Amino acid sequence: MRIAMVSRHASPLATAGGQDAGGQHLHVAEQAAALVAEGHEVRVYTRRDSPTPPDTVSTEAGYQVWHVPAGPARPVPTDQLLPHLGEFGRWLAEQWQHGGWRPDVAHAHFWLSGMATLHAGRRTNTPVVLTYHDLGSAHRRRSGGRDPGPRGRIGYERAIGRAADRVVVQSHDELGELVRLGVPRSKLTLVPAGVDETLFGPTGPVAPRDPARPRLLTVGRMRDRKGFQDVIRALPAVPEAECVVVGGPPAELLPADAVARRLTALAESCGVADRVRLVGAVPRDELAAWYRSADVLVAAPWYEPFGRTPLEAMACGVPVVGTAVGGITDSVVDGLTGDLVPPRDPRALGGAVRRLLADRVRRFAYATAALDRIRVRYSFRHWAEQLTAVYASVSGIGQVATAAA
């Protein structure tokens, strides 16, 4: 199939782990790569936010990235992109009509991409699949009723969910949220993202560590909602253990980072400063070594639409203690591949981590079950096959071939 992926603000060429690059960039890059490996032709369309890169870039993984001129060629905050949507959608429609390459299906990532893609899809008769990644209604609930920007977002999200041919959701939690929003259940298909098993596996280099000191690892962007502060608050209840925090800005910029400074001050006030280590951003191909060096991965966000880091740790054979929020309630099976605790509850977190560190047999059992779960449910192959089935059902393409066969 010819598959257009539309990701207005999250370019697969951007790196992750920095202040603003998050899982969505990686998701788009990995989904495109997984689909190419399955034999599809993939183009990713993203907004041009710099004058320098060429119009199209061919990646090593075999997909192309197209830079779409819509709005100024410089970074624009996501919630200020709305005025440039029409331009983006018209450009896509023009390309698909007259550019010599017409997609069989278009998969939009994030609601803003969904609006532009639906515009182009309607004009070119291209079926549209949508993945939200993050929902305004979930933001509103978390912030005690305050509407997320830009104005009208939740209404738009409802409308595009109803207009899309299919919505691919990442977790049961998101599925429930969308049903409550008013998107018909028949449009929703659960296809969680896969883990790159060529990068994340149980064997390979291990980051240096003190063998005498249990290691908790927590990984992610330095945002309050990632809950690193709760991990530090839990540490006094986990004697001896060190807590390694990977992510945020590069190590040399940590001293100037506001969240990093708050975490350091918190560690001091909790009396655990000598057991907390902020590493800063780690390149993706070095992350597995950090996961493998840990006894437990702690993922303590207050909210997490999907949550890649627990899955990456599981693929490396590391048990997870996570908060029971969003996608983590799907990926971590409580009592089988890890333990789940309520969010924003350092006491519960500390207790769960302490008990798991004291029980080597249970850690081994969790790690083994986690590896199994990744192989069966979260491989790239499985992910690409499930997406292919969704695309076939909205475009009719694969289905015709199957019926003929």
Binding site for ligand UDP (CB under 6 A): 16-17, 22-23, 26, 219-221, 246-247, 281-282, 284, 287, 306-309, 312
CA distances from 292 to 136, 205, 315 (A): 35, 8, 10
Report the Cα 126 to chain-centroid distance in Å. 26
What's the min distance (Å) between Cβ of 92 and ligand UDP? 25
Q: Which is nearer to ligand UDP, 123 or 284 (CB)?
A: 284
* Shortest distance (Å) from residue 259 CB to ligand UDP: 14
Residue 381, CB-side half-sphere exposure with 13 Å CA sphere: 5
Residue with tokens 């197209």: 66
Instruction: Tell me the C-alpha distance between 358 and 205, whole Å.
Output: 25
When the beta carbons of 89 and 227 are compared against ligand UDP, the nearer one is 227
Helix (H), strand (E) at residue 297:
strand 296-299
Residue with the shortest CB distance to ligand UDP = 23
Compare residues 92 and 231 and give the one whose CB is closer to ligand UDP: 231
Alpha helix segments (H runs only) across 70-227? 85-98, 111-124, 136-142, 153-163, 172-181
**Least distance in angstroms from the C-beta of 402 to ligand UDP:** 34
User: Residue 120 or residue 320: which is nearer to ligand UDP going by CB?
Assistant: 320
Buried b (16+ CB within 10 A) or exposed e, 266-291: bbeebebeebbebbbbbebeebbebb
Six-digit token string for 111: 């609601």
The answer to whether the beta carbons of residues 306 and 193 sit under 8 Å apart is yes
Smallest separation, CB 220 to ligand UDP (Å): 5
Cβ distance to ligand UDP smaller for residue 13 or 163: 13
Min dist. Cβ of residue 328 to ligand UDP (A): 10
Toward ligand UDP, which CB reaches closer, 89 or 220? 220
Min dist CB 129 to ligand UDP, Å, is 20
